Structure 1
Amino acid sequence: MNRPVAVVTGASAGIGEATARHLAAKGFHVVLGARRLDRLNVIAKEIDGTAIELDVTDTASVTAFADEIPAANVLVNNAGGARGLSTVADGDEEEWRWMWETNVLGTLKVTKALLPKLIASGDGHVVTVTSIAAFEAYDNGSGYTSAKHAQSALHRTLRGELLGKPVRVTEILPGMVETDFSVNRFDGDAERAAKVYEGIQPLTADDVADVIAFAVTRPAHVNLDSIVLKPRAQASATRAHRE
């Protein structure tokens, strides 16, 4: 295979799917990882990529996934998500556990598994999709914001630890993006999810994927450390202009 290899987690929908499509269009052979293998197979066929089942919370699954990838140039840690909007006082420990295992430990497991191959490529790149929740806190969001803060700290620590190694490190911090994120957060309640984006033009998955593709196609000596992107109408996690 002559094409560089990009690995994208959480690639069955949303930002992950869009990123896989953008990177394929840039000349990468994309390895798509997610739990929904049926969805992955359809996307992989359309972009001439490779679909491999992956559960980032399961160490055995991550190991098996990495073992099927002989070489990698780019890793996009995209798998993650939110559950619920409870206060600290009413915090649901199972929701917290899921968010920490998926966002934080999932990123750790996949990065650990593929880092030797990224280094061996001679021009590796770790991209981690966090959120503006990685540097903001908001009411009823402590489970998600704390997980994203931790995921961001994990990712930023790599920047120093990889000095001298041929690997770049980029954090992508999106604000409001209309995907199935809110539907999942609200346990399938599409009506409640739609209200999140009411009166505002949010970012799309393609908008975020376009930025990721830009970052990984810069010259090897150029490291875009962190990129925050929000809709024009959004100033912060709690402040936005709605029509």
Structure 2
Amino acid sequence: MKPIAIVTGASSGIGAASARRLAAEGFHVLAAARRADRLAELVAGITSAGGSATATTCDVTDDDSVAALARVADELPDAVTLLVNNAGGARGLDPIESGSVDDWRWMYEVNVLGTLRVTQALLPALEASGTGTVLVIGSTAGQTVYEGGGGYTAAKHGQTALAETLRLELCGRPVRVIEIDPGMVRTDEFSLLRFGGDAARADQVYAGVAQPLVAEDIADCVAWCATRPHHVNIDRLVVRPLAQAAQHKVHRVSTG
């Protein structure tokens, strides 16, 4: 028997890296995301490495899609013990006076309401396992605001409030709630999405940063938190690259 870990946003970046790492730790991973082709490639890689994984398409902004994810999980033979709420993202870096309402709405829908939908749908199975864990991939943006980041920081503050409230409400029940808040992580898609596919602008985010975090660094944190004895709850793990002392303080070297 293998404990089941469900990872949302598993088609790329931190989600894909976490799926691979959790499979290596002995979980059967149910990888969920919108892009079926990416999920198929991920599952093939996990199984070829000796791990166990299946995939299902899921849009965390859609009630019916999330309900279908829960049904797929219910049909798996073993207990669902871990949910990694990873699906999320940022759009735009505009000041509040000119920010797009549609971008703000999308960020809240994906980061906050997506986490809410999936957690509500999977919580019965997690509790029934007797050793459930809800793990939320937040951000240091959920602790500190910065110019141009109003929409994203508002959404990530909301996600943090959700995790902290859920932990209070589940006190005394066999489900722990863990939040991992990464700082600067260089992945293939996060900044590209934020800047509407503008690769040059996305690259500027990391310009001069010798070693930003990568997805595998966060996957390592996910695996460590998830594999602690169940009575150990890592309430919040904040992880930044050495070059980033704070949200606004980043050491950059000349690239000229």
TM superposition shift of 1:73: 0.5
User: Deviation digits for residues 170-216 of structure 1, max 9, x if unmatched?
Assistant: 10000000012101100111111111111111000000000110000
CA distance in 2, matches of 1:95, 1:235: 28
TM superposition shift of 1:65: 1.0
TM superposition shift of 1:239: 1.0
CA distance in 2, matches of 1:69, 1:211: 24
Q: Find the residue that maps to 1:104 and give its secondary structure.
A: helix
Query: How do 1:85-164 and structure 2 match up within 5 A?
Result: 85-164=93-172
1:78 aligned onto 2:86: yes
1:178 aligned onto 2:186: yes
TM superposition shift of 1:151: 0.7
CA distance in 2, matches of 1:81, 1:51: 21
Q: TM-score with structure 2 length normalisation?
A: 0.93
Q: Would you say how many aligned residue pairs link Structure 1 and Structure 2?
A: 242
More strand by share: 2
Measured on the aligned residues, the alpha-carbon RMSD in Å equals 0.7
User: Residue type matched to 1:237 in 2?
Assistant: Q
Q: Find the residue that maps to 1:163 and give its secondary structure.
A: coil
TM superposition shift of 1:90: 0.5
Instruction: Name the counterpart of 1:58.
Output: 62
Q: Find the residue that maps to 2:96 and give its secondary structure.
A: coil
User: Residue type matched to 2:200 in 1?
Assistant: E
1:14 aligned onto 2:13: yes
1:208 aligned onto 2:218: yes
TM superposition shift of 1:163: 0.8
Q: Find the residue that maps to 2:145 and give its secondary structure.
A: coil
Instruction: Name the counterpart of 2:247.
Output: 237
Q: Decide which of 200, 211, 234 is 1:191's aligned counterpart.
A: 200
CA distance in 1, matches of 2:91, 2:204: 17
TM superposition shift of 1:45: 2.1
User: Residue type matched to 1:194 in 2?
Assistant: D
Query: How do 1:219-238 and structure 2 match up within 5 A?
Result: 219-238=229-248
Instruction: Name the counterpart of 1:30.
Output: 29
User: Residue type matched to 1:21 in 2?
Assistant: R
CA distance in 2, matches of 1:146, 1:191: 26
User: Residue type matched to 2:12 in 1?
Assistant: A
User: Deviation digits for residues 13-52 of structure 1, max 9, x if unmatched?
Assistant: 0000000000000000000000001100111122231110
Q: TM-score with structure 1 length normalisation?
A: 0.98
Instruction: Name the counterpart of 1:67.
Output: 71
Can you give the 5+ residue segments of structure 2 that lack an aligned partner in the other structure? 47-51
CA distance in 1, matches of 2:44, 2:82: 20
User: Residue type matched to 1:172 in 2?
Assistant: I
